[in-house]
A and B are shown apart, each in its own frame.
Chain A
Amino acid sequence: DIQMTQSPSTLSASVGDRVTITCRASQSISSWLAWYQQKPGKAPKLLIYKASSLESGVPSRFSGSGSGTEFSLTINSLQPDDFATYYCQQCKSYPYIFGQGTKLEL
C-alpha cells in the first residue's frame, strides 16, 4: 500500500498569514493527490484534485503543488473560515489512503 505522511500535525497561524502543509507519499503517485478541508461536525470538502487543480467554488487563496512523492497545500492570506483540519489523500491506487491530518488553529 502507498502510505501518506502529512506534516505538521498541528499548525498555529493568524488571520492574514500564508501557510503551507506538506504531504509525502511512500512511492510515486504522479499527480494523483487530493486535498480536503474538514470542519468540526461536518463532512470533508474537496479543495484540490490532481495535485494542483482547484475545485470549483474553492477560493483562489488555496493552491496545491507537487508531483511524484512530495506535495504541498498553500493557503494565502488566511481567513477566519480557514481554521479547520486538512487531509491529503493519494488517489493513484487502492487503498486510497489519507494523510493523518493537519489541524490549523488560531
Chain B
Amino acid sequence: AQRVTQPEKLLSVFKGAPVELKCNYSYSGSPELFWYVQYSRQRLQLLLRHISRESIKGFTADLNKGETSFHLKKPFAQEEDSAMYYCALGPQGGSEKLVFGKGTKLTVNP
C-alpha cells in the first residue's frame, strides 16, 4: 500500500539557517512525489513536484529511490517560509488518488 511518512511534526530553525523537511514513502513502483505548502489560514497549494526538477522559492527536493525519500531543502530559511508542509505520493496504476503525509510545521525564528 502507498504510504507517506513525515517523521517530524514540528521543525524550528533560525532565519538564515538551512532547513530540511523529511519525507519517506512506501511504494514499489516508480513514484510521483510532490510537496505542498499551507500558509497560515490558507488552503494547501502545490510547492513543487519531483518530475519537474524545479526550484520554487529557493526550495528543492531530490528523489532518492534507494532510500525511498523525497526530502525538501532550502539553504537559507526565511521567516516567510513558516508554514505547514505536506509531502504527497501518487497517483499510481489505475488510481488517481494522491496520498498525503501528516505534515510538518516549520517555524523560522528571527
Chains A and B belong together in one complex: no
Which B residues are within 8 Å of any A CB, using their own CB?
A: none
